[in-house]
């Protein structure tokens, strides 16, 4: 089956099953000697689209009732038909996601002077395309560039469990296959750059600190502060005690060996004190005795 015949076959299948042909993607012919065709059915992205389960039922009806064979001029015969659900590779982290979308258009031509209106309008378009609650999209903002940022929140309790991770992957696929349509302020379609994993930012929630951990932290901190204060006080007391002991020791040494006193009165009368200078006194006495004997 050539590529042209594959496209004709897929177009005819979409027409007979009342399915938008844009939902059939990645049509690939099976390797020889198998004579089959693999095609991926994308999720609905317009309000008029049926869900995948209803679309599969419609395709099965076309195949089983030989409607495709009767309507085909290429003598295509379908002997069997089966399908498998394509599962996305999810990490299951349970975290919210921030999406950063690049739009290849001029800011003033697309946004104009009313960015808040366009932010809400684009959030509604994304929610409608992905078939999610508009409340799952928070804090939409348009920045110069044009860069459209918003946050996909965690699922609500009353709705089916569709994680923020899977919603952002669905959005990534919709931009890849051109299924998402955003209109500018004047109603013109804008060019959306296909998202990559770099445009999807995981937002991790900071867990609340356990009350026991807080109490232990306070107790340990208080104990450490008290210990440091006690240690500082002990060091100061030790320094002061050593200083006092040194002063007492110095006083004791000075009391045992007092230094000589050189007062002014002693200096003036040293010549008249024989007890302090006995050799001079003796010399004077000898001199006086000598003089007495001379006369």
Q: What is the pLDDT of residues 15-57, one digit of tens each?
A: 888 999 999 988 888 777 777 888 999 999 888 898 999 999 9
Question: What mean pLDDT is predicted for residues 174-201?
Answer: 91
Quick check: 132 and 154 in contact, CB under 8 A? no
- pLDDT value at residue 173: 93
Res 294: pLDDT: 46
Q: Report pLDDT for 175.
A: 94
CB contact set of 120 (below 8 Å; sequence gap of 6+): 140
Q: What is the mean pLDDT of the segment spanning 212-229? A: 89
Q: CA triplet 64, 69, 70: central angle to 5 degrees?
A: 105
Domains of the chain are 3-71 (no CATH), 96-203 (3.30.70)
Average pLDDT over the chain reads: 80
Q: What is the pLDDT of residue 274?
A: 47
How high is the pLDDT of residue 196?
A: 93
Q: Once rounded to an integer, what is the mean pLDDT over residues 198-203?
A: 93
> Mind listing the pLDDT tens digit for each residue in 56-113?
999 888 887 766 665 555 555 666 788 888 888 888 888 999 999 998 888 888 888 7
Q: Which residues pair with 40 in a beta bridge?
A: 25
pLDDT at 99: 95
- pLDDT above 60 (res 213): yes
Cross-strand bridge partners of residue 202: 97
**Report field, pTM of the whole predicted structure over 0.95:** no
For 69-92, b/e burial (b = at least 16 CB within 10 A) is eeebeeebebeeeeeeeeeeeeee
Q: How confident is the model at residue 276 (pLDDT cuts 50, 70, 90)?
A: very low
| pLDDT at position 139 | 93
Is there a contact between 140 and 121 (Cβ–Cβ < 8 Å)?
no
- What gap in Å lies between CA 51 and CA 45, rounded to an integer? 9
Which of the pair, 204 or 172, is modelled with greater confidence? 172
User: What is the pLDDT, as a whole number, of residue 216?
Assistant: 87
- In this model, does residue 267 exceed pLDDT 50? no
What gap in Å lies between CA 198 and CA 228, rounded to an integer? 49
pLDDT band at 292 (very low <50, low <70, confident <90, very high): very low
Q: What is the CA radius of gyration of the chain?
A: 50
263 vs 248, which has greater pLDDT? 248
Confidence bin at 193 (pLDDT 50/70/90): very high
- Of residues 205 and 171, more confidently modeled: 171
Residue-wise pLDDT for 281-291, tens only, equals 444 444 444 44
């Amino acid at each position: 089956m050539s590529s042209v015949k594959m496209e004709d076959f897929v177009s005819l299948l979409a027409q007979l099953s009342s399915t938008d042909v844009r939902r059939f993607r990645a049509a690939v012919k099976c390797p020889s000697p198998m004579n089959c065709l693999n095609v991926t059915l994308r999720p609905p992205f317009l309000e008029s689209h049926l869900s995948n389960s209803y679309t599969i039922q419609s395709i099965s009806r076309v195949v089983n009732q030989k409607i495709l064979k009767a309507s085909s001029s290429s003598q295509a015969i379908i002997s069997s038909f089966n399908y498998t659900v394509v599962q996305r590779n999810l990490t299951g982290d349970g975290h919210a996601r921030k999406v950063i979308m690049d739009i290849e258009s001029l800011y003033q031509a697309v946004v104009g002077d009313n960015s808040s209106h366009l932010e809400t309008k684009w959030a509604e378009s994304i929610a409608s395309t992905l078939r999610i609650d508009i409340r799952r999209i928070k804090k939409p903002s348009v920045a110069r560039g044009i860069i459209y940022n918003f946050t996909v929140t965690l699922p609500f309790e009353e709705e089916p469990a569709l994680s923020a991770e899977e919603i952002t992957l669905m959005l990534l696929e919709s931009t890849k296959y051109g299924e998402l349509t955003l209109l500018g302020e004047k109603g013109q379609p804008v060019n959306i750059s296909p998202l990559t994993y770099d445009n999807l930012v995981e937002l991790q929630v900071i867990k609340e600190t356990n009350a026991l951990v807080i109490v232990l932290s306070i107790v340990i901190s208080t104990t450490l502060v008290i210990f440091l204060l006690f240690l500082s006080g002990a060091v100061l007391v030790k320094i002061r005690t050593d200083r006092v002991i040194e002063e007492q020791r110095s006083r004791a040494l000075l009391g045992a060996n007092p230094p000589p006193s050189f007062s002014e009165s002693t200096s003036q009368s040293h010549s008249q004190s024989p007890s302090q200078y006995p050799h001079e006194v003796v010399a004077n006495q000898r001199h006086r005795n000598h003089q007495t004997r001379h006369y």
